[in-house]
Amino acid sequence: MDGNDSEQLRETPLRAVHEALGARMVPFAGYLMPVQYPAGIIAEHNHTRQKAGLFDVSHMGQAWLKGPDHETTAKALETLVPADVVSLEPGRQRYSQLLNDDGGCVDDLMISRSAYPGMEGRLYLVVNAGRKDVDYAYLQERLPDGIAVEPLPQWALLALQGPLAEAVLATLLPRVAELDFMQGAPFEFEGAGIYVTRSGYTGEDGFEISVPEQKAEALWSALTADGDVMPIGLGARDSLRLEAGLSLYGHELDETVSPVEASLLWSIPKHRREQGGFPGAARIQREIAEGPARKIAGIKPEGRAPAREGTVIMADGEEVGVITSGGFGPTVGGPVALGFVPPALVKPGTKLDLMVRGKALPAEVVKLPFVQKSFKK
């Protein structure tokens, strides 16, 4: 979701820090956010792949979903998402989608079972900035009495991503090294409780750190004091996630797109595919059985010209689809894109033409991700 200049922009607790670093600030999802720092998007991207990048993602929506016990809360949420939430162990995290009755995505989100002692029955949710108001209203409306959504606007969120993320963060919080991918735990920073999950949106190993807003700047400073850490803006966040083949809401996902179409079937476990029990289950089960009308594929344009969102995809002279995200992948060293094509064309090696400025640009379907993920095993 892009920002809108006409409305009052919200800001994160780190706005002044970004401006002092010389960031270029742009409206994004209703927030004034750093799109890049003076180093530039390519340098920021490469630094994240090689060392460690620090992102302010405090615009993301963080919330508790609170119920009397884990099973009750998890079962309630499972009526709206197709993931297995019930089997989550304390501290474990899963990626899923909030679905509407047509099986389209209201949002995509991260769901963690709280690892806080004495906080049984709580799930910690992280949702997209541009969708949080819609999500919270939808959750509250559709969940039964006794399950409450509690947004956490006074919490900032920092992401530290890259192969050196563990070494850097462990200098402050030694026990983060014990976390597995998609696992979180509470920690203490300067006397304040913070919550760290081993997750991210770059295809690299890394952490997301939920911190009270009054401690955000101190944590940012403590992390950037390490010479291996560079601040990274939303521009590189986008090129990193695109190379990792990760969906972005408003591009690959929206209210009309099902998880099957978005090539996210991996996030729906077998028993939930069979049993349903989430909104739009009939459509999703039909798409699993018969194939969806369209599917997200990785697309590599030949040459150097990027194909942007909205570019028409042709095959054998016919219009067959559209690019949903497209740009330059610094690690790939060339243009990369995601787009909808008919399922018959998702096979790697399929030749496509992309209509860029009136000319057919040759391209090929490739296996995702464009860059091999380096998550902690």
Q: Of the candidates 14, 23, 35, 169, which one interacts with other proteins according to CB under 8 A?
A: 35
Q: Of the candidates 42, 173, 314, 332, which one interacts with other proteins according to CB under 8 A?
A: 42
Helix (H, G, I), strand (E, B) or coil at 245: coil
Cα torsion through 234, 374, 341, 275, rounded to 10:
-110
Residue 189 — φ and ψ, nearest 5°? -130, 120
Judged by CB under 8 A, does residue 203 bind other proteins?
A: no
CB of 64 to other proteins, least distance (A): 35
Judged by CB under 8 A, does residue 239 bind other proteins?
A: yes
Site string for other proteins, 330-369 (x = CB under 8 A): x----x---------------------x------------
Judged by CB under 8 A, does residue 235 bind other proteins?
A: yes
**Distance between CA atoms of 201 and 165, rounded to whole angstroms?**
13
- Please report the beta strands in the chain, taking only residues with DSSP state E, as ranges in sequence order: 10-11, 24-28, 31-36, 52-56, 61-66, 93-99, 105-113, 122-127, 148-151, 155-161, 184-189, 192-197, 206-212, 229-231, 295-301, 312-315, 318-329, 334-341, 351-356, 359-366
Q: Of the candidates 1, 10, 27, 40, which one interacts with other proteins according to CB under 8 A?
A: 40
Our CA angle for 231, 264, 275, nearest 5°, is 135
Q: Of the candidates 21, 305, 315, 355, which one interacts with other proteins according to CB under 8 A?
A: 305
Q: Give whichever of 82 and 327 is closer to other proteins, judged by the CB atom.
A: 327
How many residues bind other proteins, per CB under 8 A?
A: 20
**Distance between CA atoms of 363 and 302, rounded to whole angstroms?**
5
Cα torsion through 284, 286, 292, 295, rounded to 10:
30
Q: Give whichever of 304 and 377 is closer to other proteins, judged by the CB atom.
A: 304
Judged by CB under 8 A, does residue 279 bind other proteins?
A: no
Judged by CB under 8 A, does residue 53 bind other proteins?
A: no
Stretch that binds other proteins, among 32-40, 144-152, 204-212, 287-295 (CB under 8 A): 32-40
How many of the other CB atoms lie within 10 Å of CB of 303? 11
Q: Give whichever of 32 and 134 is closer to other proteins, judged by the CB atom.
A: 32
Order of strands across the sheet with 105-113? Answer: 93-99, 105-113, 122-127, 61-66, 148-151
Judged by CB under 8 A, does residue 327 bind other proteins?
A: yes
CB of 330 to other proteins, least distance (A): 7
Looking only at the bridges linking them, the beta strands covering 312-315 and 295-301 are unpaired
Stretch that binds other proteins, among 63-71, 186-194, 266-274, 323-331 (CB under 8 A): 323-331
Judged by CB under 8 A, does residue 308 bind other proteins?
A: yes
CB of 132 to other proteins, least distance (A): 24
Q: Of the candidates 14, 17, 23, 41, which one interacts with other proteins according to CB under 8 A?
A: 41
| H-type alpha helices, 277-365 | 281-290
Judged by the rule CB under 8 A, the positions of this chain that interact with other proteins are 35-36, 40-43, 45, 235-236, 238-239, 304-306, 308, 327-328, 330, 335, 357
